[in-house]
Amino acid sequence: MSAAPRHFDIWSVPVLALWALFFAAGLMPEWTFDWCRDVGHVTTQDALVNSYHLITLLLAGYVSFFAFHGCRDAGIGAVESNAKALQLGVIGLLAFLAVPLDQLVYYDAIPLAFYRRLLVAMSAAKLVAWGYLVSVVLRHYFWGGGHVFVRMPCVFPSVRAGVGALHVQGETGTRAEDRPHREPDLPES
């Protein structure tokens, strides 16, 4: 493993401030989009993009990019790094999804029970995903460095099967994607 645990230094403060800005923008992407459009004095007719979903996609893509490079820096193979980056990207889509959290104040005023339950479930899922991503970033910068990504479980069964196959075959030093390609042995007829 090539990544040593990170030590808090002077550059960690601005990096964490930037992450805090990203996570604050992702908590309420529709408000962030409206605020940016108001600050830039852009009218709806003149806007190139008229959807706050762009903020959700960009932030989730950046979290995925960060996870991929964190995995690679920690010495994780390409397949597992891609899987963990995709996993955190999907969690990022949920965490930065535009859920009207401000509507929780008017919970009793929502007439249908289904919509009340849906609002609470989506808000809870968003906040849990958002909190998980915040914890990954904080653990990366304060405690673990690349070890955060090494210890992160992967939910994709194909990657888990590939990692398990390495241990069954007794190959602990090389991963499947790092070995040269070999044609399978075919029975002679």
Mean pLDDT, range 79-86, rounded to an integer: 92
pTM for this prediction: 0.75
What residues contact 25, with CB distance under 8 A and at least 6 apart?
Answer: 32, 55, 59
Mean pLDDT, range 71-93, rounded to an integer: 92
Q: How confident is the model at residue 18 (pLDDT cuts 50, 70, 90)?
A: very high
Does pLDDT of 141 surpass 60? yes
Does pLDDT of 64 surpass 90? yes
Q: How does pLDDT run across 157-176, given as a tens digit for each residue?
A: 777 666 544 444 444 444 54
Going 68 to 90 to 52 to 35, the CA torsion angle's sign is negative
Instruction: Supply the pLDDT for residue 3.
Output: 47
> What is the rounded distance in angstroms from the CA atom of residue 44 to the CA atom of residue 50?
7
Q: Is residue 117 helix, strand or coil?
A: helix
* Average pLDDT value for the chain: 81
Instruction: Supply the pLDDT for residue 167.
Output: 44
Q: How does pLDDT run across 24-63, given as a tens digit for each residue?
A: 999 999 898 889 888 988 887 777 788 888 999 999 999 9
| Residue pointed to by tokens 């995903």 | 129
